[in-house]
Amino acid sequence: LAILLASVAACRDVPSNLKSFYESHKNVDCANPVSIQYSSGQGDADTVYCQDDASGAVFLKDTSNGYADADIDCDGAGMGTGDCGDDPSGQSMTAFKDLVQEYSGGAIDDLNTHIHNFVVLGNDNSAEEGDGGASFDPTKDADIQPLSVVAVVCGKKLVYGVWGDVNGGKLTGETSLSLAKQCFPNEGLSGNAGHGDHDVLYLAFPGEEAIAKDVNWGASTAKEFEASLATIGNKLVKKVAA
Round to whole Å and give the CA distance between 110 and 96: 8
Q: Indicate whether 51 belongs to any domain.
A: yes
Q: Indicate whether 242 belongs to any domain.
A: no
Q: What is the CA 141 to chain-centroid distance, rounded? A: 17
**AA identity, residue 79:** M
Residue 6's pLDDT is 40
Burial (CB count within 10 angstroms: exposed 0-12, middle 13-18, buried 19+), residue 192: middle
List, for residues 61-72, the tens digit of each pLDDT value. Answer: 999 999 999 999
Q: Indicate whether 62 belongs to any domain.
A: yes
The helix (H) or strand (E) run that includes residue 121 is strand 118-123
Q: Indicate whether 42 belongs to any domain.
A: yes
What are the pLDDT tens digits along the chain (242 aa)? 443 334 334 569 999 999 999 999 999 999 999 999 999 999 889 999 999 999 999 999 999 999 999 999 999 999 989 999 988 777 889 999 999 999 999 999 999 999 999 999 999 999 999 999 999 999 999 999 999 999 999 999 999 999 999 999 999 999 999 999 999 999 999 999 999 999 999 999 999 999 999 999 999 999 999 999 999 999 999 999 97
Residue 11's pLDDT is 63
Round to whole Å and give the CA distance between 141 and 157: 29
Residue 3's pLDDT is 39
Residue 168: domain span? 2-237
Residue pair 205/147 in contact (Cβ under 8 Å)? The answer is no
Q: Indicate whether 19 belongs to any domain.
A: yes
List, for residues 134-152, the tens digit of each pLDDT value. Answer: 999 999 999 999 999 999 9
Q: What is the CA 76 to chain-centroid distance, rounded? A: 15
Residue 87's pLDDT is 83
Count of domains forming the chain = 1
Q: Give phi and psi for 161, each to the nearest 5.
A: -145, -170
Residue 185's pLDDT is 96
Q: Write down the pTM of the prediction.
A: 0.94
Q: Indicate whether 172 belongs to any domain.
A: yes
